[in-house]
Amino acid sequence: MKNERKRTFLLITIPILALFICFNTIPLIRGVIYSFTNFKGFGSYDWVGLRNYADLFTDARVGRSYWFTFKLAVVTTIVVNVLSLLLALALNSHIRAKSFFRGAYFLPNILGSLVVAYIFNYFFTYILPALADMIGIEALRTSILSNPATAWIGVMVVCAWQAIAMNTIIYISGLQTVPEDVYEAGGLDGATGWKQFKYLTFPLIIPFFSINMVLCIKNFLMVFDQIMALTKGGPAQSTESISYLIYNNGMSGGQFGFQSANAVVFFIVIVIVSVAQMKFSSKKEEQL
């Protein structure tokens, strides 16, 4: 009887594990192997040892893509969390048509980011300048996507527009775990408004804050669709995300080997960021 149970578990685990290894582990290893070659993706190739990695750290374009990606991830994460916390507080307060608002605010999250970015692309190029022209805001008269200094803001807006939905919903479920009597007790101590939020509400939803942080940073570090649809990395290569650079130069630019090395480094960076985040948030939770 016991053996039957064991055998069944093994029969389940082995094939699925094999599938996972076949399409996750093996390609990962192959990626590492390609990173030591000058493979273009076709034709013959040579082993170049660590040359790709040495190049990686001296390549200004790769460096810029890391800078851009991290800048985008950090700023968008902050913007998204502040706004969605505000929205969540509003949605959780005593309002009319609660479920309608909730449903409406989640809408952007279900729409495909590629198409959303195409739509915003048109707004940034034509509608926003027209609007600025009418109101008389000099800075917005030209498309923000055409200026290397501001194009990332356009990407940020599109990413935030979609991501706020998700974070808001998570914060709402966090706020719902806060029992009413906490506020009542707090109300007696005279805690209201900002103070009430800072000392009563926020500490209780820290776990949800951590979830949102992890979700945000990870998603934004891998941003791809929005870049593809909005800027294709331009202008002046100012909005090339790491994923976009790997795709663009690795698949079509003939840098299969070099971009494999880039991908390996990117993988390590993701692991470090994720581990650091988990350590940080578990520490934070312990303190409270």
Partner 1 sequence: MKSRNGKYLGVVLCGVTAAAMLSGCGSEANSNVTEIEIVQYKPEAANYFTMVEEEFNATHDDIHLTISSPNDAMTILKTRFIREDYPDIIGIGGDINYSYFVDAEILMDISDYAGLANINQGYLDIDESLELVPTDGIFAVPYVANAAGILYNRDMFEEHGWEIPTNWAELNALCETIQAEGILPFYFGFKDTWTCLAPWNSMAVDLAPADATKQVNRGETNFATEYREVSEKYLTLLQYGPDDPFAYGYNDACTAFARGESAMYPIGSYAAPQILSVNPDLNMDSFVMPANDSADANTLNSGIDLQFSVLAECPNKEAAYEVLDFLYEDVNLQKYIDAQTAIPCKKGDFALPTILDGMTEYIASGNMTDYPDHYYPSEMAVDAQIQTFLLKKDVDAFLQKFDTDWLRYNRDIIRLVQEYERQHGNAD
Partner 2 sequence: MIEKKTNISAMTVLILGLATIALPLYLTVVIAFKQPSEMTNSISGILSLPKTWSLNNFKEAMEITDFWHSLRNSLLITGLSVVLSITVHSLMGYALGRNKAKSKFYSFVYLFIVSGMFVPFAILMMPLAKQTAELGLANWFGVIILYVVFYMPMNVLLYSGYLVNIPMALEEAAKVDGTSTWRTYWKIIFPIMKPMHATVAVLTALAVWNDVMTPLVIMAGSGENTLPLAQLNFQSQFGTNYNLAFASYLLSLIPILIFYVICQKQILNGVVNGAVK
Is residue 173 within the footprint of partner 2 (CB under 8 A)? yes
Instruction: Decide if residue 61 touches partner 1 (CB under 8 A).
Output: yes
User: Of partner 1, partner 2, none, which one sits near residue 145, judging by CB under 5 to 8 A according to partner kind?
Assistant: partner 1
Q: Is 97 left (phi over 0), alpha (psi -120 to 50) or beta?
A: left
Binders of partner 1 among residues 232 to 251 (CB under 8 A) are 232-237, 249, 251
Q: Which stretch binds partner 2 (CB under 8 A): 108-116, 137-145, 147-155, 195-203?
A: 108-116
Identify residues 110-129 at the interface with partner 1 (CB under 8 A).
125, 129
Cβ density class 170-198: b for 16+ within 10 Å, e for less: bbbebbeebeeeeeeebeeeebeeeebee
Q: Please check whether residue 32 is in contact with residue 264, taking contact to mean a CB–CB distance below 8 angstroms.
A: yes
Residues 6+ apart with CB under 8 A from 129: 140, 141, 142, 143
Q: Which does 255 bind (CB under 5 to 8 A by kind): partner 2, partner 1, none?
A: partner 1
- Least Cβ distance, residue 151 to partner 1 (angstroms): 9
Structure-block tokens of residue 167: 């974070």
- SS3 of 210, please? helix
From the list partner 1, partner 2, none, which binds 198 (C-beta under 5 to 8 Å, kind-based)? none
**Nearest distance from residue 192's CB to partner 2, in Å?**
14
Sole binder of partner 2 in the list 70, 118, 197, 202 (CB under 8 A) = 118
State CA 159 to chain mean position distance. 8
Binders of partner 1 among residues 139 to 158 (CB under 8 A) are: 142-143, 145-148
The answer to whether 73 and 242 have CB atoms below 8 angstroms apart is no
Q: How far is the CB of 206 from partner 2 (least distance, A)?
A: 13
Residue 47's DSSP bridge partners are: 37
> Is there a contact between 34 and 256 (Cβ–Cβ < 8 Å)?
yes
Buried b (16+ CB within 10 A) or exposed e, 117-140: bbebbebbbeebbeebeeeeeeeb
Q: Which does 132 bind (CB under 5 to 8 A by kind): partner 2, partner 1, none?
A: none
133-172: contacts with partner 2 (CB under 8 A): 134, 161, 166, 169-170
Binding site for partner 1 (CB under 8 A): 11, 14-16, 18-19, 38, 40-44, 55, 59, 61, 125, 129, 142-143, 145-148, 232-237, 249, 251-256
